[in-house]
Amino acid sequence: MEKYKARVESIAPGVRFCAVKADTFKTARLNFTMAMPLEGDIAARALLPFLLHRSGRKYPDFSQLNARLAELYGAALSAGVSKLGEAQIMSLTINAIDDRFALDDESVALNCARLLLDLVFDPNVRDGSFLPEDMKREKRLLSEKIDSEKNNKQLYALRRCESLMCQGESYGLNPLGEKREVESLDGERVFKAWQESLKKAKIQITMAGSTDSDLVLQTLKDAFANLEREDVDIKTNFIKAPEKEEYFSEEMAVEQGKLVLGFRAGMAHEDDNREAIMLMTYLYGGSPHSKLFLNVREKMSLSYYCSSNFVKAKGLIFVQSGIDTDKEEAATRAILAQLEEIKKGQVSQEELHTSKLSIADSLRAVEDSPENIVTWYGGQLLRPSFTTPFEEIEKIEKIELEQVVEAAKKVRLDTVFMLKGSGEGETDEN
């Protein structure tokens, strides 16, 4: 049963506010997200949220900003960059105690919203440029973040498969940018990225907590009132089927090889047969009772882990597996064979029912915390309207086995990437 309702209000062209009144949590969460096409000066935009969350004109160094966060009952501020389809997502988030626990009827959420707006609209800049000392620090940290992706071999293999599979598509680009581009950044370029993002980005402010959303809404409207906006059009290119299958491999000094298979899901747009594909992917490798887990990992002992993931915002499915390098051919055959089983309809009603229950449980968990609520609605900032977790459950429950089989038949292997282990070096078994 749905407990929380989302209130959605337009603030300015391409800017909206989504508030979920949740009065059962000890904390509240407020997220400010900007989306731009995953193209152009990606590195400058990637650096932007990390600069903004470290200081502002009112709080010119991190110690002063921390002092303000301490006044807000120890609120925590974070920044992030990701991709959603072929959009680059930049976000600032504040987590704080819920208003119900504040003294003297203070609205912590309102003060957190004001702080976020101070940081976003009034950054620590001078003469049209972010400060050199701030740039130096954040460039180093962003470069280290890019390096850390390569050090995480499972993530590195997935990113390599994405980039090779989507060559010529924006989705193949790293939303953090390339390291050489990060190193070439200067304060003026990031300042221009800030101006452009405020003017053109799709923006959503998402809040979960017990506060009166009218207070926050008016504050947001005041902040955007004098800002000229040109709402950018963000589109994601969906490719229903590959022209041919591709194979790539690299070798690294790791004990465990990483095998990634990238598939096109046969989608023309994000809502094209989405629920059937989601359920099919879950049956395939989305849980401990999936075909990949029970057969490739458990029965055949061909992998240390083996799972599938559906990227609905781009119409892709990825299967990730940790294997001994000499088992690559056998593991690939076994992974593809499990997909063929679904295409042939060799799925029991019990498997279908169990998968539906598991998906429903995970969707109900959205209402378990402000973090989950904000993540759910914040992840829909490019959609014209919201889908609630319970609407998604209802759609999943109506899917029949025949629809799952038809969805599987449209899935086509596009790219295989193998990160071969040399049998020495670090271990990272899952």
| CATH number of 246-426, picked from 3.30.360.10, 3.40.50.40, 1.10.10.10, 3.30.830.10 | 3.30.830.10
* pLDDT band at residue 5 under the 50/70/90 scheme: confident
Query: Of 94, 121, 298, nearest to 222 (Cα)?
Result: 121
pLDDT at 430: 45
* pLDDT band at residue 410 under the 50/70/90 scheme: very high
Classify 342 as helix, strand or coil: helix
For residue 259, pLDDT over 70 is answered with: yes
Burial 51-79 (b: 16+ CB within 10 A, else e): bbbbbbeebeeeeebeebbeebbebebeb
CATH architecture of 6-224: 2-Layer Sandwich (3.30)
* Side chain identity at residue 326, one-letter code: D
Angle at CA 61, nearest 5°, toward 57 and 64?
Answer: 90
List, in sequence order, every residue forming a beta bridge with 77; answer none if it has no partner.
94
Each residue of 178-228: pLDDT tens digit?
Answer: 999 999 999 999 999 999 999 999 999 999 999 989 999 999 999 999 899
CA distance 430 to 428: 6
Arithmetic mean of pLDDT, 313-342? 97
Give the pTM. Answer: 0.94
Residues of the chain with CATH 3.30.830.10: 6-224, 246-426
